[in-house]
Amino acid sequence: MSNEWEVVIGLEIHAQLATRSKIFSGSSTAFGAAPNVQANLVDLGYPGVLPVLNAEAVRMAARFGLAIGATVAHRSVFARKNYFYPDLPKGYQISQYELPIVQDGRVDIVLDDGSTKVIGVTRAHLEEDAGKSLHEELPGQSGIDLNRAGTPLLEIVSEPDLRSAREAIAYMKKIHTLVRYLEICDGNMQEGSFRCDANVSIRRLGRREFGTRCEIKNLNSFRFVEKAINHEVARQIDVLEGGGSIVQETRLYDPGKDETRSMRSKEEANDYRYFPDPDLLPLVLDAGWIESLRATLPELPDAKAERLVTEHGLPAYDAGVLSASRELADYYEAVIGLVGGQPKLVANWVMGDLSALLNRDGLDIQMSRVSTQRLAGLIARIVDGTLSGKLAKEVLETMWDEGSDADAVIEAKGLRQITDTAAIETVIRKVMEDNPGQLADYRSGKDKLFGFFVGQVMKATGGKANPGQVNELLKHLLAG
Amino acid sequence: MTLTRHDVENIARLARLQIREDQLEPFAGSLSRIIDFVEQLGSAATDQVEPMAHPLQGMVQRLREDQVEASDQRDLFQQNAPEVAAGLYLVPRVIE
Amino acid sequence: MSFHALTAAELGRALRRREVSSLELTDHFLARIEGSGTRLNAFVTVTAERARADARRADAEIAAGRGGPLTGVPIAHKDIFCTAGILTTCSSRMLANFTSPYDATVVEKLTAAGTVLLGKTNMDEFAMGSSNETSYFGPVRNPWDEARVPGGSSGGSAAAVAAGLAPAATGTDTGGSIRQPAALTGLTGIKPTYGRVSRYGMIAFASSLDQAGVLARSAEDAALLLSAMSGFDPRDSTSVEQPVPDYHAGLEAPLAGLRVGVIREFFGEGLEAGTAAAVTGALDQFKRLGAEVVEVSLPALPLSVPTYYVVAPAECSSNLSRFDGIRFGYRCESPRDLYDLYTRSRGEGFGDEVKRRIMTGTYVLSAGYYDAYYLKAQKVRSLIAADFQRAFESVDLLFGPTAPTPAFGIGEKVDDPVTMYLNDIYTIGANLAGLPALSAPCGLVDGLPVGFQLIGPQFSESRLLSATHAYQRETDWHRRLPPAWA
């Protein structure tokens, strides 16, 4: 990227709320049902039917608002956004427009250099999801599945505070972490439960006014968001440096071709004719109810990270990684409880070897093949000196693969560390006898040969000798 | 006339209504009459007046508990559908 | 026996005294519907088999000593109410083949009350009209003069009850669609408070104005049906959670001392002289019955028609977007592409008046016009509602004519929508403010019925009905039948 351009990004994140039933009907929101079996009269927009608002969707939206320090509106209003599209059964989407339920919040993100930046959240509003158009196997036609129609969405709109694709990702991940902490969204991006549109523009460095923006739709993975934004920025720079100008439009990211292209179909009718939905009354939440909801909030990621630094003494980086996932942090804290301390050691194991195994097998921490009890058992054997770090890695892998606990693996493999001084001394003497030349050289001043003797002793014990004891005994015996 | 043929064409496109060529002029006429007629609203002094979206003033939205109530009645509901296949409602290809 | 000259209440009493069976009554009315043929065009669908099944069930109930005042009484539903397994067309080509998979709450409740369903009545297409001339199935004729309109949009229900094809019928009223046809056909019609009757299953025209009600031969009948239809419905967010009084039990409340406000703005230019005289005569009758009559002014009320013709089209333009030829309803032949599917299905499926209102609504909501029209109209709506509220600080009921003239000729006003819209000049205010209002017959002008209108504060249906009942005990306008149908 040329240096004289500044990138300005705002994200609109759509989080499907994890209610059992839809926002305005009693249909199930479960994913993956046969087409249209979860679309009832209300979802289909049948003549004469009416919407009734789901209490849980309201509660979830309000919890989100409280979690980002926003105003949870005493009074909010549902409006109709009018446009024709086959996946939109009523010809309008019920959405909050002028008076959203969540107004004026903020989240902190951590930048690559470790510093913190505040990102404004303009608003978050409740609305209904649309259905899906399917194009496969139907020549010249599309098939409409309305199972998703009416699934509650929280649309979270950021201020144009993001200045790079990296910041956009950090912000999106932060919101992803939050909605999962709050248990208001499953965050499943493959299934479309968490997706986003990005508004991207560029301007000359130092300019105050914003450039013309393009909205990129269909961003359903963190990787796509980063790639799509970078491509769009490059495209806009090309256009402007080539003397052209940016046209405000909606563009679709095509992950296959790794490019964005104009969506003309969305351009033609963007006069949405919003007006208050006469089928729904103003949503009024009283202050007492909002406060009682605040009391039910879990410890949030920033507070948790802070506590891991101040109370557990973890480095900020470790605290950030662990608290980015409520489940990971819960796992870590459970192990701490079982071991009775050792925060840095536990953090290293959770973030290091255990996470590597999870990644290798594509599992979430909740599905870990090593339970918190078993990891605590392993760490106890490190703490009591039974296992060296290197042996412990081997043990963990076996525990993972065989589903057994640490002691069983140690027993079966005979991996117990040798800490018997006499036994180690016997090995050392044997090594000295077998290598008289090196011994003489060492004694005549070649200090570097110390490592050679350590290696020989470890080799002879199959790595099981306690390294600290080996060092100490070797120093003593080699000196003669 | 307040509204021209061209205005009628634009409104009809937004409302997804096909209007026959020979009806554009008559619709421009009758819509203009209606719009001219409602212009008299401009005479009302409404500076301090709150808009009224709903006749039940003071009534607020009721909430339903989050319970799954509906069961699968796809076959019944699709009896009214002009064209379905494999449980899907069919339309001419959607181009995105 | 002339069952059709009796009221629903009288028929109910005859049924409970076993003077007649529901099946006999049902066959009587089915025969009259059959005999009326296409003369009135009051019905879109006649449900003879269903009616006889309902009647047999009702007769069994009555024989078992069960059932209420409406058990076994035949009725008709305006074809805007969804009826499970029965065509529900809204008198539109768009829904000409639409069989509803479910019952509207109103239908459910009246079925539960033991009524017998004779059929579905013709109406203005999607309830948009004041003359019943916009129906896809052709105009309905007024039984008092078949060259004239019965009013609209509940014109089929009005014609059916006036001609004695059904003892009573349901209707809906968005800007006068129950009261104006009631006035033009000599019936008692009530539109209750917004939220009193569930809108679930009633195909929406303008959601903040629509309300279901009754067209009947007397205030007593209206009270019986309204009691059965009303009540809270969790499926309608705008349904009011308030107990329903027994309107029938309240009918005998004394009228003496009732403060009646005559709306000055309703007696000016445009009110036909014969109608004015008949309505004034009714006012004199109320005075004789002991009402205290005062004149009141509601200065914003003359703006109710322009307000309505912004608000109602705006809501309808959105409500009717669901008719797209995809999940139900009319679909054009061989659409070339998606846009073609939409525009031709809607262009061919909707009639001109519906298109005109959709386009009016689309225009007033579109970018650049929203504030000038839609928002402005919502503010004027507040002024109108405030006028009513102020008036009800000093009076119990408001009084005026229902329609400016008696029934006009078919085809007389179709060329100018604004002239047609002005038919609702006295009725629209109650819809904008969500108030209950009632029309009852009070005279004949050149052989054509005219009606007076009462408007009350929210939830004052009992007062409207008892005042009208007191009037009807002293007068017989409501017992007159069109000579050709007596």
Contact A181, A148 (CB under 8 A): no
Residue B18 lies in a domain: yes
Angstrom distance (rounded) from CA C61 to CA C71:
8
User: Is C109 in the active site?
Assistant: no
Angstrom distance (rounded) from CA C77 to CA C79:
6
pLDDT of residue A270: 74
Residue A207 lies in a domain: no
Residue B9 lies in a domain: yes
Residue of A nearest to C336 (CA): A140
Say whether A324 sits in a helix, a strand or coil: coil
The reply to whether residue A26 touches residue B90, judged by beta carbons under 8 angstroms, is: no
Clarify whether residues A406 and A435 are in a common domain: no
User: Is C153 in the active site?
Assistant: yes
pLDDT of residue A192: 93
Residue B47 lies in a domain: no
Binned at pLDDT 50, 70 and 90, residue C449 comes out as very high
Taking contacts as CB-CB distances below 8 angstroms, the residues of chain A near B63 are: 52-55, 58
Clarify whether residues A385 and A460 are in a common domain: no
User: Is C78 in the active site?
Assistant: yes
Say whether C397 sits in a helix, a strand or coil: strand
User: Exactly one of C22, C153, C230, C239 is catalytic; which is it?
Assistant: C153
Clarify whether residues A40 and A90 are in a common domain: yes
Residue A338 lies in a domain: yes
Residue C202 gets which letter from DSSP? B
Residue B27 lies in a domain: yes
The total of structural domains in chain A comes to 3
| CATH number of residue A431's parent domain | 1.10.10.410
% of chain C with per-residue pLDDT over 70:
100
| CATH number of residue B10's parent domain | 1.10.20
Question: Which of the other chains make 3 or more beta carbon contacts under 8 angstroms with chain A?
Answer: B, C
ipTM of the complex: 0.97
For residue range C68-90, list pLDDT tens digits in order: 999 999 999 999 999 999 999 99
Angstrom distance (rounded) from CA A294 to CA A62:
9
Read off the tokens for C322: 């669901």
pLDDT of residue C218: 98
Residue A223 lies in a domain: no
Q: Which CATH number fits domain C3-260+459-485: 3.90.1300.10, 3.40.640.10, 2.30.300.10, 2.40.30.10?
A: 3.90.1300.10
Residue B72 lies in a domain: no
Question: Which of the other chains make 3 or more beta carbon contacts under 8 angstroms with chain B?
Answer: A, C
pLDDT of residue A420: 85
| Residue A82 touches partner C, C-beta closer than 8 Å | yes
pTM attached to this predicted model: 0.92
pLDDT tops 70 at residue A214 = yes
Least confident of C175-189, C352-366, C405-419: C405-419
User: In chain C, what are the helix, strand and coil shares in percent, each to the nearest 5?
Assistant: 45, 15, 40
pLDDT of residue A266: 52
| Sequence spans of domains, chain C | 3-260+459-485
pLDDT of residue A469: 87
Taking contacts as CB-CB distances below 8 angstroms, the residues of chain A near C202 are: 48
The total of structural domains in chain B comes to 1
Number of Cβ pairs closer than 8 Å across A and B? 124
Clarify whether residues A92 and A189 are in a common domain: yes
CB-closest option in C236, C327, C365 to A89: C327
pLDDT of residue A416: 77
Residue A205 lies in a domain: no
CB-closest option in B68, B88, B96 to A252: B96
pLDDT of residue A268: 53
Clarify whether residues A389 and A425 are in a common domain: no
pLDDT of residue A466: 84
Read off the tokens for B30: 């009758």
pLDDT tops 90 at residue C461 = yes
pLDDT of residue A459: 87
Angstrom distance (rounded) from CA C238 to CA A58:
18
pLDDT tops 90 at residue C62 = yes
The parts of chain B modelled with pLDDT lower than 50 are none
| Residue A44 touches partner B, C-beta closer than 8 Å | yes
Binned at pLDDT 50, 70 and 90, residue C383 comes out as very high
Say whether C359 sits in a helix, a strand or coil: helix
Task: Summarize the confidence of residues A269-296 as an average pLDDT.
Answer: 94
Strand-pairing partners, residue A364, are: none
pLDDT of residue C68: 96
Clarify whether residues A353 and A455 are in a common domain: no
Clarify whether residues A449 and A388 are in a common domain: no
Residues 6+ positions from C152 with CB-CB distance below 8 Å: C123, C124, C127, C129, C130, C131, C132, C133, C134, C140, C177, C180, C181
For residue range A181-190, list pLDDT tens digits in order: 999 999 999 9
For residue range C128-152, list pLDDT tens digits in order: 999 999 999 999 999 999 999 999 9
Clarify whether residues A395 and A459 are in a common domain: no
Read off the tokens for A146: 């309305």
Residue B91 lies in a domain: no
The reply to whether residue C356 touches residue B57, judged by beta carbons under 8 angstroms, is: no
pLDDT of residue A135: 86
Cβ-based interface (< 8 Å): residues of C facing A: 81-82, 88, 90, 95, 98, 100-102, 104, 199-204, 206-208, 234-238, 314-315, 317-318, 320-324, 326-328, 338, 342, 362, 365-367, 370, 374
Clarify whether residues A347 and A404 are in a common domain: yes
The reply to whether residue B86 touches residue A35, judged by beta carbons under 8 angstroms, is: yes
pLDDT of residue A460: 87
For residue range A376-393, list pLDDT tens digits in order: 999 998 988 788 888 899
The reply to whether residue A46 touches residue C234, judged by beta carbons under 8 angstroms, is: no
Could you tell me whether strands A141-145 and A92-96 are parallel, antiparallel, or unpaired per DSSP bridges?
Answer: unpaired
pLDDT of residue A384: 83
Residue A183 gets which letter from DSSP? T
pLDDT tops 60 at residue A228 = yes
The reply to whether residue B15 touches residue C338, judged by beta carbons under 8 angstroms, is: no
Range of the domain at A38: 12-200+268-292
Selected residue with higher pLDDT from A462 and C333: C333
% of chain C with per-residue pLDDT over 90:
96
User: Exactly one of C36, C78, C439, C462 is catalytic; which is it?
Assistant: C78
pLDDT of residue C25: 98
Task: Summarize the confidence of residues A250-266 as an average pLDDT.
Answer: 80
CB-closest option in A44, A92, A279 to C327: A44
pLDDT tops 70 at residue A267 = no
Residue of C nearest to B80 (CA): C328
DSSP string of C51-73, one letter each residue: HHHHHHHHHHHHHTT---TTTT-
Residues 6+ positions from C4 with CB-CB distance below 8 Å: C28, C29, C32, C164, C165, C167, C481, C485
pLDDT tops 90 at residue A418 = no
Contact C278, C450 (CB under 8 A): yes
Show which of A292, A325, A354 is a domain's final residue.
A292
Least confident of A19-28, A434-443, C207-216: A434-443
Clarify whether residues A354 and A307 are in a common domain: yes
Range of the domain at B17: 5-42
pLDDT of residue A227: 93
Angstrom distance (rounded) from CA C454 to CA C438:
5
The reply to whether residue A280 touches residue C203, judged by beta carbons under 8 angstroms, is: no
Clarify whether residues A60 and A160 are in a common domain: yes
Find, among A26, A53, A58, the residue nearest to B64 by Cα.
A53
CB-closest option in B3, B17, B92 to C341: B92
pLDDT tops 80 at residue C1 = no
The reply to whether residue C417 touches residue B34, judged by beta carbons under 8 angstroms, is: yes
| Count of CB atoms situated within 10 Å of the CB of C245 | 16
Residues 53-92 of B with CB under 8 A from A: 53-54, 56, 59-70, 72-74, 77-78, 85-92
Clarify whether residues A305 and A189 are in a common domain: no
Binned at pLDDT 50, 70 and 90, residue C317 comes out as very high
Residue of B nearest to A77 (CA): B61
The reply to whether residue A143 touches residue B88, judged by beta carbons under 8 angstroms, is: yes
pLDDT of residue A3: 66
% of chain A with per-residue pLDDT over 90:
75
Residue A215 lies in a domain: no
For residue range A11-61, list pLDDT tens digits in order: 999 999 999 999 999 999 999 999 999 999 999 999 999 999 999 999 999
Residue B55 lies in a domain: no
Contact A107, A174 (CB under 8 A): yes
Picking from A49, A142, A262, A284 by the largest number of B CB atoms within 10 A of its own CB, the best residue to mutate is A142
